[in-house]
Amino acid sequence: MRVKLYNLDGKATEDLELSDSVFGLPANDELVHQVMVAQMANQRQVLAHTKNRGERAGSGKKPWRQKGTGRARVGSVRTPVWRKGGVAFGPTKDRNFKKKINQKMNAKAITTVLSGKLQDKEIIFIDNLEIKDKKTKQVAQALKKLKIQGRALIAFSEKEKGEMRCSRNISKVKNILTSQLNVLEMLKNKYLVLSRESAKYLEGKYGQKAKAAEAE
């Protein structure tokens, strides 16, 4: 598989050969949805919390004797039946929404999303992401020349992570290290910008050669 490789001026410089095992997979909506839901659940914060009768303020003394008063029997002022008492079955901060993601499932979902974005022409490959003057304006101009309209995710390799500060203030643009690329961030943004270095990294991590080495 060959795709166009562009420079920051928006001009095609050469063809880049890609691995079919990373960028040529068929769609698998069920797998991608499962991994996406798990990632969203792992990011969820537990906010709702109600106090039970043990957490409410109030005396533990029995309000009145059990029999002979003509009133209903009661053992504590913190009973859920009373006003200002504890909540019987309310939500608590002890809830756990986390879901486990199998490593192979996650890797397959990432390559499936990469393949789908490439088929939809939503991946732009850049020969080099190094910014000469380290200016945000240069990155904004480059995105305009590449005709990227809408939300974009720029993946930087380890060698290029110093350039991340040049694009962090641009509206609708998010930065991420290629090693931290995940399904949720790719789906939240329409376009994905990868350098030649990042493409090689993804092929080395998720390609057939990496799988063969793990099997051995």
Q: What is the pLDDT along the chain (216 residues), one digit of tens a residue?
A: 899 999 998 899 999 999 999 999 999 999 999 999 999 999 999 999 999 999 999 988 999 999 999 999 999 999 999 999 999 999 999 999 999 999 999 999 999 999 999 999 999 999 988 888 889 999 999 999 999 989 999 999 999 888 899 988 999 999 999 999 999 999 999 999 999 999 999 999 998 755 654 554
- Output 12-18 pairs: Cβ under 8 A, ≥24 positions apart: 13/127, 14/127, 16/125, 16/196, 16/199, 18/118, 18/199, 18/203
Q: Are 85 and 77 in contact (CB under 8 A)?
A: yes
| pTM given for the model | 0.83
Question: Which residues lie closer than 8 Å to 44 by C-beta, 6 or more apart?
Answer: 97
Q: Where are the beta strands (DSSP E) in the chain?
A: 2-6, 12-17, 123-126, 152-156, 173-177, 191-195
Q: At what angle do helices 196-206 and 208-215 cross, to 10 degrees?
A: 30
Token output for 43:
């990011």
Domain boundaries, given as residue ranges, for the chain: 2-44+99-215, 46-96
CATH code for the domain defined by 2-44+99-215: 3.40.1370.10
Closest to 124 in 3D by CA, of 2, 23, 5, 1: 5
Residue in the block written with tokens 């997979």 = 25
Q: Are 162 and 183 in contact (CB under 8 A)?
A: no
Q: Are 39 and 187 in contact (CB under 8 A)?
A: no
154 phi and psi, to 5 degrees?
-105, 120
